[in-house]
Amino acid sequence: MSQTPDHLFERARLSIPGGVNSPVRAFRSVGGTPVFFDSAAGAWLTDSAGRRYVDYVGSWGPMLVGHTHLEVVAAVQAAAAKALSFGAPTEAETELAELLRSLVPSLELVRLLCSGTEATMTALRLARGYTGRSLIVKFQGCYHGHSDGLLVKAGSGALTFGNPSSAGVPAEIAALTLVCDYNDTAQIEQLFAARGEEIAGVIVEPVAGNMNLVLPRPGFLEALRALCDRHGALLIFDEVMTGLRVAPGGAQARYGIRPDLTTLGKVIGGGLPLAALGGRRDIMEKLAPLGPVYQAGTLSGNPIAVAAGLATLKLAAAPGFQAGVEAYAAQLVAGLVAEAKRAGVAFCAQSVGSMFGLYFRSTPPTSFAEVMQSDVARFNRFFHAMLARGIYLAPSAFEAGFVSAAHGEAELAATLAAAREAFGEQA
Ligand SMILES: *Cc1c(COP(=O)(O)O)cnc(C)c1O
């Protein structure tokens, strides 16, 4: 018996907090009832009632080659038929580590884990274990998963200790994380001048994709590199989202910065739970069993996830792949901007690699404060107008969008036709 989303959501809420297993899925920000999905193929999703949508969420990033790609599904099926898990080494794990190292040369050694949260949490422990220091610097609006030390927002002044951004995070733990403004070089220079000798590491999304999409200002990432070098702190690029999206070698390849540590996730598992932490050999050798910094995982390097990741990365690293997804993202953005202009709606958009940002304001934001100034009510109306026309955007004005290699002419035409009507309703 097929059930409507309302019924499914009602039922889910009886057994699952808020009816969802990750909060943004609940549609709290845009209002309404979340869509329950049943299947996906290429660029398209099918919901529980059989309606189809062009997908611009891509499972929040992983589905770079498109949904249920034949080669990825075949690799997963073949792996599953051999073993679901060993909890012991396999050759495929080494093959994946080798492939990641060839794509991202700063990964001299790489450890596989199960989630981005785990990767960033371990990166902080490793930075502290390596430097013998306690403080971490992060940027307001960057998301690095939900470990205690990273659910922290700015305190009252720029150079004060961070405050918990979630209940349950002890103030004592939040106080070890200092929060700066993204793209504000002068501010972090001031922070390092005051406390540089106590800072173990700086963690940053080199392209910010968790406060909509914010590009690094020219010189910002270079300044972080120079500050960390001068003060003996580690530079951690959280490329869980940007890895394989901004360029095959991640944002570090696109912007020419070599971080000390890098976290990867999302695309590298092709839709299965897989993440990685890698970087300088002398730092990575501090991880157990070689060194004193402990990290472990029952399902780390799980053969099914590794098979999906390997198949996905082989497709995504092929010549011409990146150019194809970049071209679609650029055409999408240009088309949406043209439709908004036609309707007289204050709107802009930009893309980098296969990621894009939509903004109900006249210029792309360069800071968290500017992101917060965008017109959320307008985005929410636009979101629902697009959803009603079969276009699935991220259900929040503060998320980046993603395209896949399966998006083509037909999907672009369908999206822009829907946008023409959706912007028309806004005017
Ligand atoms: C998604 C994300 C994470 C968290 O990854 P999970 O697999 O959801 O734990 C961390 N950092 C960034 C930049 C992300 O986009």
Backbone φ and ψ of 423, nearest 5°? -65, -35
Distance from first CA to last CA of the chain, Å, rounded? 41
Find, among 139, 331, 127, 93, the residue nearest to 231 by Cα. 127
Domains of the chain listed by start with CATH number:
5-68+319-426 (3.90.1150.10), 70-316 (3.40.640.10)
Q: What is the pLDDT of residues 282-340, one digit of tens each?
A: 999 999 999 999 999 999 999 999 999 999 999 999 999 999 999 999 999 999 999 99
Q: What is the mean pLDDT of residues 133-161?
A: 88
Q: What is the pLDDT of residues 184-211, one digit of tens each?
A: 999 999 999 999 999 999 999 999 999 9
Give the closest residue (by CA) to ligand 1 atom 11: 144
CA–centroid distance, 326 to ligand 1, in Å, is: 22
Q: What is the mean pLDDT of residues 177-183?
A: 96
Q: Which of 158-162, 177-181, 299-303, 325-329 has the lowest mean pLDDT?
A: 158-162
Contact 43, 407 (CB under 8 A): yes
CA–centroid distance, 235 to ligand 1, in Å, is: 18
Residue 263 has pLDDT above 90, yes or no: yes
Of the pLDDT bands very low, low, confident and very high (cuts 50, 70, 90), residue 5 is confident
CA–centroid distance, 198 to ligand 1, in Å, is: 26
Distance, CA of 130 to CA of 318 (rounded, Å)? 36
Q: Which atom of ligand 1 is nearest to the CA of 145?
A: 4
Residue 253 has pLDDT above 70, yes or no: yes
Tell me how many degrees the CA angle 173-300-257 measures, rounded to the nearest 5.
Answer: 65
Query: Residue 4: what pLDDT?
Result: 76
Asked if residue 242 has its Cβ within 6 Å of ligand 1, the reply is: no
Enumerate the active-site residues.
143, 238, 266
Task: Report how far apart, in Å, the C-alpha atoms of 165 and of each of 68, 168, 197, 199, 378 are.
Answer: 36, 9, 26, 21, 26
In one-letter notation, the amino acid at residue 248 is P
Q: What is the pLDDT of residues 74-92, one digit of tens each?
A: 999 999 999 999 999 999 9
Residue 158 has pLDDT above 60, yes or no: no
Asked if residue 276 has its Cβ within 6 Å of ligand 1, the reply is: no
Q: What is the SS3 assignment for 206?
A: coil
CB proximity list for 72: less than 8 A, separation 6 or greater: 65, 270, 271, 308, 311, 312, 315
* Pocket probe mutation, ligand 1, options 24, 144, 204, max atoms within 8 Å of Cβ: 144
Residue 157 has pLDDT above 80, yes or no: no
Of the pLDDT bands very low, low, confident and very high (cuts 50, 70, 90), residue 2 is low
Structure tokens at 187: 């501010």
Asked if residue 164 has its Cβ within 6 Å of ligand 1, the reply is: no
Query: Residue 154: what pLDDT?
Result: 83
% the chain with pLDDT above 70: 98
Of the pLDDT bands very low, low, confident and very high (cuts 50, 70, 90), residue 155 is confident
Q: What is the pLDDT of residues 9-50, one digit of tens each?
A: 999 999 999 999 999 999 999 999 999 999 999 999 999 999
Q: What is the pLDDT of residues 366-425, one digit of tens each?
A: 999 999 998 999 999 999 999 999 999 999 999 999 999 999 999 999 999 999 999 999
**Long-range contacts of the stretch 5-12 (C-beta < 8 A, 24+):** 5/33, 5/34, 5/35, 5/36, 5/47, 5/48, 5/49, 6/33, 8/36, 8/48, 9/33, 9/34, 9/36
Query: Residue 156: what pLDDT?
Result: 66
Q: What is the pLDDT of residues 240-252, one digit of tens each?
A: 999 999 999 999 9
Asked if residue 265 has its Cβ within 6 Å of ligand 1, the reply is: yes
Residue 426 has pLDDT above 90, yes or no: no
Q: What is the pLDDT of residues 325-375, one digit of tens each?
A: 999 999 999 999 999 999 999 999 999 999 999 999 999 999 999 999 989
Query: Residue 238: what pLDDT?
Result: 98
CA–centroid distance, 115 to ligand 1, in Å, is: 7
Query: Residue 398: what pLDDT?
Result: 95
